[in-house]
Amino acid sequence: MGSILDRLLQDPAGERDESAILPNPARINSGARRVLAIQPAGTLTISAMLRYSFAFFIALLAAGPLRAEPATPEELVRNAVEGVIGTIKSDPSAKGGDVNRIAHLVEQKFLPYTDFLETTKIAVGAPWASATAEQQKAVFEQFQSLIVHTYALELTQIIDQNVKFQYAPAARAGAGTDMIVKTRIQTSNDDDEIDYRLARTASGWKIYDINILGAWLSGLYRNQFSGRLAQGGMDGLIKALREHNNAQNP
């Protein structure tokens, strides 16, 4: 993982307009506001995340081998959404609900298709620029681990469900270069509209954000992280994330 991490920690070219991807508070319901709330004791509440955000992880996981040519945004999202369920089902241990095995498959096969570093930068906000390289590396690793294990757990709940997907053509996000792919995800219990935000990098399109219930996920994390950063700085945030991850993965 070291080589991947070193590559991810390189500064990306250009800046994005973060205001365009932060949530509109008026459109976020009370359930969404609770997503990943950081409690005073330093633990992270993830139960609401499992309800509102499982589709985010499905979209972040691109099944199949790396392609020689970069995929279009629509192709990337379609491959990711429709491939992850089949990949999990084809593995006996993962199909049996082994959370650690599912998490391993996520780390081994799917992370190269995502840009969790960009998600981390947006969630941390301004303090990222003043953090040391060691702090940036630590918060990135802990944040990524949080997402991987949260969604590995969620995926165990939908392995046997009949999931249907619908896609709209990709559209440019405002005046920038990012693209948004709108989808509808239907299960036996839910029917959700999900927007996926992608950025084009030197290695192709990467999914790094999602809009659920009118709120971009990176913005929800940013709102939650801001309190911890105000109390204990970057080290305090890292400590909270690490304690939560250790509790979830003893």
Condensed to tens digits (0 to 9), the pLDDT of residues 107-164 reads 877 777 789 899 999 999 999 999 999 999 999 999 999 888 876 887 777 777 787 8
Contact 80, 113 (CB under 8 A): yes
Contact 84, 110 (CB under 8 A): yes
Contact 117, 127 (CB under 8 A): no
pLDDT tens-digit readout, 72-114? 888 888 877 677 777 888 899 998 889 989 888 878 777 777 8
| Domains of the chain by residue range | 2-11+20-162+208-248
pLDDT of residue 68: 46
pLDDT of residue 225: 95
| CATH architecture, domain defined by 2-11+20-162+208-248 | Orthogonal Bundle (1.10)
Q: Which residues pair with 199 in a beta bridge?
A: 206
pLDDT of residue 134: 98
d(CA 78, CA 90): 19
